[in-house]
Structure 1
């Protein structure tokens, strides 16, 4: 099995049954029912709930379960920073997570081990552009994450040469890109980089039941297949 193949399978399992997007899409920071239902209805393959209380925008497990219960046919993913593997696995079971997103920062020296589900692992752009580091990380993580893994990072700059390099990285292991902000950028990334998928940002309701989806709608529509 190729590096990250298990994660790719998880996130692609519903793609051809229910979606018509040029790339799989995950939506991060889900904290309200408007976002959960809208994104699922627009073809998002997964919803990401911040379950680490030390991260901005965190929701508790009960809220995540409640919001997830209103949608069907999407992956439910938990986002974590400095949380130990056993606690992550407890929340995986409690919330019915199909995957986890692991954030990194300058103070982290190791990743949680023994996770029960595939992981999306953050890689800073400055490191992902070092191909020696990238290929070494693939080898290390293949052994450390038998359930499967993928990388995610901020979207690359618009230069065609750099995007061709990022496209070559995306062929070595599943690579998800955070962003983009506009529909045109989303379509351009889909055609030039061919990442495993895009990670978009959810938002807050203006008031219960009222949410402005203008930016998300533009990206979804740009990725919609004819």
Structure 2
């Protein structure tokens, strides 16, 4: 399965999400790997899930502390945080770093933050709660000409392809679903968006 853009799915804590993402062509899935997180994935659970998956990269999500033994998560390819205080330490661990930014203020402030962190951060994930306006899309387009950006939120299955065409981001970010029982997941819009960006095999 091929998709029209790179996709990162965060907050994965079960094999069902992992297998679905791998089968649909998602490039990267993220696991919360600090014990304080409500969806914490232990080293043993991570190894069990990762052993079933092929052709997909793994991210370790860290939001409160950089104290993690990556040797216990040896298949981790990328690190993710939203905490500026952790950037320096995480950037020294030898893994590409994705920095998540919740967009609440104007985008000029976001640009300043990205400029300050760009030497240590591989990619920025910009998270929106409100639907992306035409003006915001134009501003994001200027950002993607300078930074590698993942867009999270602000779109749905009906608007995602227009967003991709207008902004040309590095990719998009989605969240995994809760496993309400073994093998049964609540994907909360993830499936619809991924199906909307499936590449036409005849292109």
Distance 1:181 1:30, change over 3 A: farther
1:112-164 CA distances to partner (integer Å, 9 max, x unpaired)? 42121000012232467116x6256435431xx3xx51111213743212211
Computed over aligned residues only, the root mean square deviation of the Cα atoms, in angstroms, reads 2.3
User: In the alignment, is the contact (CA less than 8 A) between 1:36 and 1:71 conserved in 2?
Assistant: yes
Unpaired runs of 5+ residues, structure 1, are: 1-18
Higher strand content, 1 or 2: 2
Residue of structure 1 equivalent to 2:102: 124
Distance 1:58 1:110, change over 3 A: closer
Separation of aligned partners in 2, 1:102 and 1:190: 24
Aligned residue-pair number:
196
Distance 1:180 1:216, change over 3 A: farther
Residue of structure 2 equivalent to 1:100: 79
Q: Aligned to 1:160, which of 134, 141, 159?
A: 134
Separation of aligned partners in 1, 2:153 and 2:173: 6
User: In the alignment, is the contact (CA less than 8 A) between 1:49 and 1:77 conserved in 2?
Assistant: yes
TM-score, scaled to structure 1: 0.77
Separation of aligned partners in 1, 2:176 and 2:85: 29
Residue of structure 2 equivalent to 1:151: 124
TM-score, scaled to structure 2: 0.85
Separation of aligned partners in 1, 2:61 and 2:10: 8
Higher helix content, 1 or 2: 1
